Amino acid sequence: MQTMKSELIIARNSGTELPMKAYVVATQAHIAQLEGEVGGRKTSQLHTHALASDEAVPSSVIEQAEMLVLQIDPSSEASLSRFEQVRHLRPDLPVLAAVEDANLRLVRTLLRQGVTDVVALPFDFEELFTQVIEATASRSTSAMDRLAPMASVVHAVGGAGATTVLTHLAAAIAENGACGSRVCIVDLDLQFGEVATQLGLSPQHSVLDLLEAGERLDGDVIRDSAVETRQGNFVIAAPPQITPLEDVDVDRLLRMLTLARREFDYVLVDLPVNWTNWSLSAALACSEMIMLTDQSIRGLRQTKRCLELFDMMDVPRDNLRLVVNRVEKKMFQSIGVHEVADTLHRQISATIAKDKVGLDSAQDQGLLLTELNRKAPFVKDIQKLADQMCDRQQEQG
């Protein structure tokens, strides 16, 4: 069936405007009836998209909507499936279910499945407008309270592969879907950050622009500064020029990270190898820290020093995950994974296999190894780590 879309200019006599971008997705008959009720009343835009009740919602609508009014036919498995599709892609998108002849039992069922409210069909313009406004107010309050999980990948020595792990981890978390699909990497390695370079991006803005924005910094500025990757993730890049580490204002940095956590479903932070007051503050603000180490004596020595620092700063050990990177399965390995755990007196949360050829080839092309070889041990280990992180967030509610 051919779809139709349009924009309604709607309002009540009071002139109240919708404070966000709302989409109504329903059959052509219901959309036409709604447009007829609007008449000449004017205010902000409400977008409509005519679609059969069993057709999938276009990804462009799901991505752009700040609220969705979606017609649901409870007797149609395909209609219910498209609601699940929306929930999977945008877990935090408020959805008003538009239903014909909704009884109390059906309303309760839909609310349990995650809809924000239920709207009666055929549409009553005044009722719809009121419900959208009320849902928006509720959404604004809850959005201020809700912060997405934020994890940092910490490395004790340079060249530990933290950025490579981070870029692949972002794609794996999004693919898991349990924490949402909008994953953002914030590259705080102000002097040598390479997240954008590894992903073949040429961003126009960087974290430095956000830190210098002052009072102008808000959610819109955060979204505009985040560059979307080929995999559908987002990156707020490090500045192209080397920036003195002491120039960072801690309060501005923490405010920027808080705003990012409100705009995205999951935030990953790449930190510089050298510790400063602001980088330590950023790490402590994370809900989870991934400590990368390896099987070298130098790496273990530096990792132990970092762990002692975190203990001194009262970082809860439950928030810190020790991951051994570049693990090789050699018959006569001098330091095995068990020896790493014994040396550091910590449990190993995960291991990541060393990839000798594929990673370099992928990075030369601005790709992830996932795109070239999903069966590579490195890729499988990253996915296991991502699954662990998402499972922990689910357990924590």
pLDDT top residue among 142 and 118 = 118
pLDDT of residue 43: 44
The band of 333, judged by pLDDT with boundaries at 50, 70 and 90, is low
In the predicted structure, residue 187 carries a pLDDT above the cut 80: yes
pLDDT top residue among 192 and 39 = 192
DSSP string, 91-123: TT--EEEEEES--HHHHHHHHHTT-SEEEEES-
Read off the pLDDT of residues 29-46 as tens digits, 9 standing for 90 and up.
998 888 877 665 544 457
pLDDT top residue among 133 and 202 = 202
Give the pLDDT mean for 207-228: 92
pLDDT of residue 378: 96
Chain center to CA of 240: 24
Structure-block tokens of residue 33: 């009836």
Read off the pLDDT of residues 74-132 as tens digits, 9 standing for 90 and up.
889 899 888 888 887 787 788 999 999 878 888 888 887 788 889 999 988 888 888 88
The band of 2, judged by pLDDT with boundaries at 50, 70 and 90, is very low
Q: How confident is the prediction for the chain on average, in pLDDT? A: 86
- List, in sequence order, every residue forming a beta bridge with 143; answer none if it has no partner: none
Tokens 């978390």 belong to which residue? 173
Question: Distance (Å, rounded) from C-alpha 391 to C-alpha 36?
Answer: 47
Q: Cite the beta strand spans of 113-252 per DSSP E.
A: 117-121, 150-155, 183-187, 227-228, 234-236
Question: Distance (Å, rounded) from C-alpha 315 to C-alpha 334?
Answer: 31
Structure-block tokens of residue 392: 């922990």
In the predicted structure, residue 173 carries a pLDDT above the cut 90: yes
Read off the pLDDT of residues 13-24 as tens digits, 9 standing for 90 and up.
444 456 567 889
pLDDT top residue among 144 and 360 = 360
pLDDT of residue 41: 55
Check if the beta carbon of residue 164 is closer than 8 Å to that of residue 292.
Answer: no
Read off the pLDDT of residues 266-277 as tens digits, 9 standing for 90 and up.
999 999 988 998
pLDDT top residue among 135 and 223 = 223
pLDDT of residue 1: 44
pLDDT of residue 332: 59
Amino acid at 269: V
**Location of each CATH 3.40.50.300 domain in the chain:** 147-395
Read off the pLDDT of residues 292-320 as tens digits, 9 standing for 90 and up.
999 899 999 999 999 999 999 888 888 89
Tokens 């956000």 belong to which residue? 210
Give the pLDDT mean for 151-178: 89
DSSP string, 194-212: -HHHHTT---S-BHHHHHT
Check if the beta carbon of residue 363 is closer than 8 Å to that of residue 164.
Answer: yes
**Domain 4-144, CATH among 3.40.50.970, 3.30.1330.90, 3.40.50.2300, 3.40.50.2000:** 3.40.50.2300
pLDDT top residue among 219 and 143 = 219
Range with the largest mean pLDDT of 154-158, 160-164, 165-169, 175-179? 165-169
The C-alpha angle with vertex 187 and arms to 215 and 322, in degrees rounded to 5, equals 125
pLDDT top residue among 382 and 60 = 382
Chain center to CA of 295: 32
Topology of domain 147-395, CATH: Rossmann fold (3.40.50)
pLDDT of residue 256: 95
**Location of each CATH 3.40.50.2300 domain in the chain:** 4-144
